């Protein structure tokens, strides 16, 4: 016997389904099925029902697209499968080189490619559980984004519930963007309110998506296109996946095609380039992907980008304008960069008023003078760049640029070492400009990760003389922070908690946070693993530094030069008095029994961080990869493991919990038969 539901339950279910149909028809298909008045009547009826019967309100209800109080922050949202970026092909030769690499690797003459548009928006990851939108996260740094679920719910082109054809757990990758019509309407509203206009649709979309109040996002009328799923959702190819996403109810851009070989890539690129300005949204190129997923797996990926895809960018857009002045900016390492102050001009849809001139030699090589008419472009449609001056339009009073003898911020002498093209301020941390940038780098997510310590707060701290050096951050207290603008009790408590947590950090993060020239994250990690302690690193000669993998003479000299400066050593000593940089986990002794074995980590382990688990596996000869495949030897699953665990179970990959991993590392095979579903796993 079928269950009997109260009439209000059935009516609410019908209203939710009907409104979802109308939203899809209006925002995705551009085929309105009802008048605005009829739509509003249905929405008001559903709102009234849910108000009278709160138990009827569900996460996938259209009434929940805007709701709740404004949040105080955007929480971090880790990606189980990293959101990779794409390598760029800026001309035909680079596109042909991409095709040649694919053909050589696959041993075929004309592989099939799926061609799509490269939207000028913001990459997003959506997680649907049992068909209902559960989480939305920005790309962030590819590993950790920001939770924007409440804001994404306001995008009416996006279904809050998928069709019954969708799998129980689905992560969708796509792009949030703003249509040109919505952008023009938004800027018209900004002008009417006397507010600042947005420079381009991408900036407007990014700013709208990251609003703390979802009601603001809802008014901005964002759009969405789906284009990927990390595990393929059972499809055999990208083109098949796009069709599946449409069947699930997700909006997919109609402009995609499967073509053969380089000739097909050229035709698609030229066709879209000719239609670019007629599209209802901004794009900055097209994307070529090897269509077959099995072939994608064979091609693999680099650290930040797949080998099986490339973004074929459109030529940068150019415009003429006049140089009003040339002054200099001071960077974190003291680098002095000439900057052209331009008569504002629109370049590729963006108002450009400043453009970097890179260095003194570049200014003279291009013969750019104050008063010149110059050609400006946005390289890759992003970075403003001065291509050169137009000699025949040069006025008689045009003035050449002269590098100032002293820093415009602190007055210290500007020096330029022999054989270097970059001039630098000699003030070091005594220079407020360098101090601010050094503090911002020190507190950054990939350094000491002091949440809440952004550029505006650092500017206040430095300008007020409260903090002059990184070590001074650890002496902050509530009394001094209360004197600063926009620092309430909650913000202060959160910041002080983040500073306290940063006292215990890894050695590699500490080394990266110091901001030594040429020492990025990878080099900092290699130094930490090689020396094991800061004291050992500080005592190392250049010859000893050269024994570290990938450290060459230039890097070794820069490290030694940084550590030999008394001012830097004094600052490091002050930091070591308040910090506890932990050495990397000790290498596993014995034979490399895991040599060649690939591991995938998912979920949270009870005692090991992901970095520690990775280090232990690598020390034993294994390697950690991002995605589960038939070649994966082990999946190490902790609490809240997700789709990777499901994929491992489907493929029959051996699953370990933390105890099983430790037993495997210790060489005890009798202990590595873990449960197939760790606590909290799905």
What are all long-range contacts of 61-69, with beta carbons under 8 Å and residues at least 24 apart? 61/16, 61/160, 62/16, 62/19, 62/20, 62/23, 62/160, 64/153, 64/160, 65/153, 65/154, 65/155, 65/156, 65/160, 65/218, 66/153, 66/154, 66/214, 66/215, 66/218, 67/150, 67/214, 68/150, 68/214
- Average pLDDT value for residue range 194-216: 78
pLDDT tens per residue, range 621-632: 787 776 788 888
Under CATH, to which class is 318-400 assigned? mainly beta
Does the domain at residues 598-671 carry the CATH identifier 1.25.40.10? no
Distance in angstroms (rounded) separating the CA atoms of residues 136 and 215: 16
Tokens (6 digits) for 547 = 């024994």
Instruction: Give domain 507-576's CATH number out of 1.10.150.20, 1.10.340.30, 3.30.365.10, 3.40.50.280.
Output: 1.10.150.20
For residue range 59-105, list pLDDT tens digits in order: 778 776 654 444 456 788 888 888 888 888 888 999 999 999 999 99
Q: For position 76, what pLDDT does the model report?
A: 84
* Fold of the 428-502 domain: DNA polymerase; domain 1 (1.10.150)
Average pLDDT of span 413-425: 83
Query: How high is the pLDDT of residue 468?
Result: 84
pLDDT at 674 over 50: no
Q: What is the pLDDT of residues 101-152, one digit of tens each?
A: 999 999 998 899 999 999 988 999 999 999 999 999 998 878 888 899 988 9
Rounded CA separation 182/188 (Å) = 10
CATH topology of domain 7-65: Helix Hairpins (1.10.287)
What pLDDT shows up at residue 609?
A: 78
Q: ∠ CA(76), CA(73), CA(158), 5° rounding?
A: 70
The stretch 169-191 carries a mean pLDDT of 89
Sheet containing 132-138: give its strands across: 132-138, 122-129, 169-177, 223-228
Structure token digits, residue 308: 């099986």
| Spatial CB neighbours of 376, under 8 Å, sequence gap ≥ 6 | 318, 319, 320, 321, 342, 345, 347, 352, 355, 384, 385, 386, 387
- Read off the pLDDT of residues 37-67 as tens digits, 9 standing for 90 and up: 667 678 778 888 888 888 888 777 877 665 4
Q: How far is CA 224 from CA 12, 285, 320, in A?
A: 26, 17, 34
The model's pTM is 0.51
Please tell me the predicted confidence (pLDDT) of residue 202.
83
Which of 456-465, 466-475, 637-646 is predicted with the least confidence, judged by mean pLDDT? 637-646
Q: Of all residues in the chain, what percent carry a pLDDT higher than 70? A: 89
The three-class DSSP label of residue 629 is coil
More confident residue, 59 or 555: 555
Reported residue count of the chain is 682
Q: Residue 385 — pLDDT band, cuts 50, 70, 90?
A: confident
Give the CATH fold of the 88-313 domain.
D-amino Acid Aminotransferase; Chain A, domain 1 (3.30.470)
First to last CA, the chain: 32
CA quadruple 477, 482, 485, 486: dihedral sign? positive
Cβ 351 vs Cβ 400: under 8 Å: no
Q: Which residue has the higher pLDDT, 422 or 65?
A: 422
Sort 394 into a burial class: Cβ within 10 Å, 0-12 / 13-18 / 19+: middle
Could you tell me the pLDDT band of residue 673, with boundaries at 50, 70 and 90? very low
Which pLDDT score is estimated for 37? 62
Would you give the distance in Å from CA 206 to the centre of its chain?
12
What is the number of helices (H) and of strands (E) in the chain?
Answer: 24, 24
pLDDT digits (tens, 9 = 90+) for 299-351: 998 767 899 999 998 887 788 999 999 999 988 778 899 999 999 988 866 78
Over residues 575-586, the pLDDT tens digits come to 999 988 877 655
Taking all residues of the chain, what is their mean pLDDT, rounded to a whole number? 84
**Distance (Å) of CA 598 to CA 184, 327, 500, 623:** 50, 52, 36, 5
User: Do the domains 507-576 and 428-502 match in fold?
Assistant: yes
- Which of 320-324, 328-332, 505-509, 510-514 is predicted least confidently? 328-332
The pLDDT, as a whole number, for residue 668 is 57
Q: Respond yes or no: is residue 118 known to be catalytic.
A: yes
pLDDT class for 228, splitting at 50, 70, 90?
very high
**Contact indicator for 476, 496 with CB cutoff of 8 Å:** yes
Structure tokens at 495: 């910041």
Q: How confident is the model at residue 246 (pLDDT cuts 50, 70, 90)?
A: very high
Spatial distance between the Cα atoms of 292 and 166, rounded to a whole number of angstroms: 21
Q: What is the mean pLDDT of residues 281-289?
A: 93
Burial letters for 485-500: b for 16+ Cβ neighbours within 10 Å, e otherwise?
A: eebeeebbeebeebbe
Higher pLDDT, 4 or 280: 280
Domain spans of the chain, in order of start: 7-65, 88-313, 318-400, 428-502, 507-576, 598-671
Q: Which helix (H) or strand (E) is 205 found in, with range? A: helix 201-209
CA 649 to chain centre: 30
Q: What are phi and psi of 322, to 5 degrees?
A: -115, 140
Supply the pLDDT for residue 593.
Answer: 67
Fill in the DSSP letter of residue 211. Answer: -
Over the stretch 5-19, which tens digit does the pLDDT of each residue have? Answer: 577 888 888 888 888
What is the per-residue pLDDT across 348-376, written as a single tens digit (0 to 9) for each?
A: 667 889 998 988 988 998 899 999 999 88
Q: Which residue has tokens 């960077």? A: 331
How far apart are alpha carbons 530 and 540 in whole angstroms? 11
């Amino acid at each position: 016997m079928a269950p009997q539901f109260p009439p209000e339950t059935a009516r609410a279910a019908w209203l939710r389904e009907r409104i979802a149909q109308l939203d899809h028809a209006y925002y995705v298909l551009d085929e309105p099925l009802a008048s605005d008045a009829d739509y509003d009547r249905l929405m008001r009826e559903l709102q009234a029902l849910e108000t009278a019967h709160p138990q009827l309100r569900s996460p996938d209800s259209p009434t929940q697209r805007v709701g709740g109080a404004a949040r105080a922050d955007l929480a971090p949202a880790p990606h189980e499968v990293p959101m990779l970026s794409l390598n760029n092909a800026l001309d035909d030769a680079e596109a042909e080189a991409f095709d040649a690499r694919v053909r050589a690797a696959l041993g075929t003459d004309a592989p099939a490619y799926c061609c799509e548009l490269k939207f000028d928006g913001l990459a997003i990851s959506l997680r649907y559980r049992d068909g209902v939108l559960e989480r939305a996260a920005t790309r962030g740094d590819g590993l950790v984004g920001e939770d924007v679920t409440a804001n994404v719910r306001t995008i009416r082109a996006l279904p809050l519930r998928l069709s019954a054809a969708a799998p129980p757990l689905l992560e969708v990758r796509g792009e949030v963007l703003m249509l040109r019509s919505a952008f023009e309407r938004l800027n018209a509203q900004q002008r009417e309110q006397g507010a600042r206009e947005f420079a381009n649709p991408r900036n407007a979309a990014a700013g709208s998506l990251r609003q703390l109040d979802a009601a603001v996002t809802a008014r901005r009328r964002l759009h969405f296109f789906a284009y990927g799923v990390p595990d393929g959702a059972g499809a055999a190819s990208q083109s098949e996946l796009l069709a599946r996403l449409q069947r699930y109810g997700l909006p997919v851009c109609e402009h995609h095609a499967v073509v053969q070989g380089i000739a097909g890539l050229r035709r698609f690129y030229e066709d879209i380039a000719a239609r670019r300005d007629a599209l209802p949204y901004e794009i900055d190129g097209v994307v070529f992907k090897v269509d077959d997923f099995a072939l994608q797996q064979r091609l693999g990926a680099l650290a930040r980008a797949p080998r099986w895809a490339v973004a074929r960018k459109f030529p940068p857009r150019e415009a003429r304008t006049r140089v009003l002045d040339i002054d200099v900016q001071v960077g974190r390492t003291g680098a002095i960069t000439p900057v052209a102050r331009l008569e504002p001009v629109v370049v590729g849809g963006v108002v450009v008023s400043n453009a970097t001139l890179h260095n003194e030699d570049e200014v003279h090589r291009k013969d750019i003078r104050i008063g010149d008419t110059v050609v400006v472009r946005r390289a890759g449609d992003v970075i403003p760049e001065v291509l050169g001056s137009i000699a025949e339009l040069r006025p008689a009073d045009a003035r050449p640029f002269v590098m100032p003898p002293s820093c415009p911020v602190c007055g210290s002498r500007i020096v330029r070492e022999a054989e270097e093209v970059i001039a630098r301020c000699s003030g070091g941390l005594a220079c407020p400009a360098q101090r601010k940038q050094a503090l911002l780098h020190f507190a950054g997510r990939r350094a000491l990760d002091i949440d809440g310590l952004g550029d505006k707060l650092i500017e206040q701290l430095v300008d007020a003389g409260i903090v002059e050096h990184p070590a001074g951050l650890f002496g902050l207290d509530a009394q001094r922070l209360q004197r600063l603008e926009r620092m309430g009790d909650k913000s202060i408590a959160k910041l002080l908690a983040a500073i306290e947590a940063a006292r215990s950090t890894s050695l590699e993060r500490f080394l990266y946070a110091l901001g030594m020239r040429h020492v990025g994250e990878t080099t900092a990690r290699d130094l930490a693993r090689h020396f094991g302690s800061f004291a050992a690193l500080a005592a190392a000669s250049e010859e000893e530094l050269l024994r570290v993998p990938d450290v060459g003479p230039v890097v070794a000299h820069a490290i030694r030069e940084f550590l030999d400066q008394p001012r830097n050593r004094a600052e490091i000593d002050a930091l070591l008095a308040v910090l506890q940089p932990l050495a990397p986990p000790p290498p596993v002794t014995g034979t490399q029994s895991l040599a060649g074995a690939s591991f995938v980590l998912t979920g949270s382990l009870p005692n090991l961080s992901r970095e520690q688990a990775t280090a232990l596996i690598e020390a034993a000869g294994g390697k950690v990869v991002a995605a589960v495949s038939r070649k994966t030897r082990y999946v190490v699953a902790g609490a809240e493991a997700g789709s990777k665990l499901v994929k491992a179970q489907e493929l029959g990959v051996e699953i370990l919990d933390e105890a099983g991993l430790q037993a495997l590392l210790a060489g005890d095979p009798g202990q590595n038969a873990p449960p197939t579903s760790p606590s909290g796993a799905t």
